[in-house]
Structure 1
Amino acid sequence: MHSDNRLGEFLRARREVARPEDFGLPEPTRRRTPGLRREEVALLAGVSADYYVRLEQGRDKHPSDQVIDALARVYTLNDDAVAHLRELARPVARPRRRARQPERVSPGLLRLLDLWSDTPALVVGRHLDVLANNRLAAALNHCSVKGQNMVRAMFLDPGTRRVYADWPRVAVETVASLRASAGTDLDDPRLTDLVGELSLKSDDFRRLWARHDVAAKTAGIKRFVHPMVGELTLSYDTFTVNGAPGQQLLVYHAPPGTPSAQALTLLGSIAADLPLPHESRQDA
């Protein structure tokens, strides 16, 4: 997984998924390779073709801020992807890697999760491992249970295609979120193992990982199909957990009075009969 040309890999991936028709260029069916040509990117970004080739090949790894802004405009990068591109172009020397401690959820946050009986909520770690959940989160989605990795479940558990009504979109968002969480620390052993496993076992994951999409999950909408209460359209918001680097609190909710809110209330009454997640769930 290690590469000495991560900037070039990112630029090449974004070039290959760019849509020539968005720039008034010949349709993809008239091209031998997908996406834009290098000389087209250079023209659109206002740099020489030779310079852009050097960037992709890794012979120049430190483009100026002006060039970064121009490439971000050509590739219509979101804020997360632009920040990622800047980090690739201005890598920071990392201290010697130390063995990471198991990710633990604070007792106070665990109690808070349990108090939210009407709100599905869970805590995920830096590699989208589910570290804790409440009853309703487990009742809503079997992928939201402590011990699951949301990326692995997305691609290796056939049941997720029945749970998520918009599975293709959610799959894209999940891979982009993993990229955003990992940043440029792609040599992290846990990440290497996860990406290696999924790349071997899932063609869909391998294709999406190669796109180099970067987008942190902050808020959005997901549609769930539940065998007991039917379809639910839920909004979600994510919150960074202060004092626990890499951890995020994920909360689902529905507007009052909507069919989804009613279904969530019904699901909550069913979940009330489930046991609370065990007190020792914060153990690694």
Structure 2
Amino acid sequence: MAVRKPPTERQRRLGAELRKMREHVGLSLTEAAALHGTDRTTVSNIEAGRFGVSADRVRVWAANYSCPDAAYIDALSAMAKERRAPSANWWDSYRDKLAVTALDLAEMEHHASALRGAQITHLPGLLQHEEYARAVFQEAVPPLTTEALESRVAFRMRRCGVLDRPGAPACTFLIHEAALCMRFGEERMIKSQLDHLLNQSDRENVTIRVMPFAAGGFPSAGSSTLYVYGPVPQLDAVQLDIPTGSAFLSAETHLTNYRLVLDRMEQRCLGPDRSRDFIREVMQDL
């Protein structure tokens, strides 16, 4: 018997949204199962993301729960269709090479309608060139094997492709001056990376804003944050960098708080044009 793959973050999120829909109308698992004509275990497994669910079933369950939000239901139905074509995405080829959370992040970026991130000590992964990414991964503890290192670099470069895909998300990158000054690799490579950053800022879908040291303190100064905008606000998500990979948050309170965090940080950043000038000044000082 084939081993069942663990659910992805998006699959877990779909199940969690169905659970929230059920709880909103005050139904127990047993009552919901009776309403859907199935059993309690099936409902529980679908809500946990362990079992797939068809788009048609999502619509039937939403109707049974009297959910009035058509755009929300459409977005959930689209998520359900994704599971019907396993291993159809480029990141699946890395499933046995990288942590599951890395694949989850690539999947979330791929389906995002917009992205807004704050980076404190590293430049944003989607704006890194190959040499810089390699220098960052060379600092991993414990040290990576050559094969593992190259897999991570290749994966990060593939992730950057989200900026080129049709309907690419609008991206706002808030970058602290510390990330611009952090020396990963040789001076020549750092200058090349900063030049790459400037080139990326010319994209219509990319906005880079720098927060200088002179701006003072700001919320969540100790961690990098990525806010992923879904097709509807209910499906937004937050990704946080942690030592073991990524943590994903989707509770309404978390989403509200991190929007406020990024709003406050963005208010203290330089504008896009001044940010490009600032990056050039950092390059000249190297």
Aligning the two structures, in what range does the TM-score lie when normalised by the shorter sequence?
Answer: 0.3 to 0.5
The alignment's TM-score, normalised by the length of structure 1, stands at: 0.35
Q: Which has the larger share of helix?
A: 2
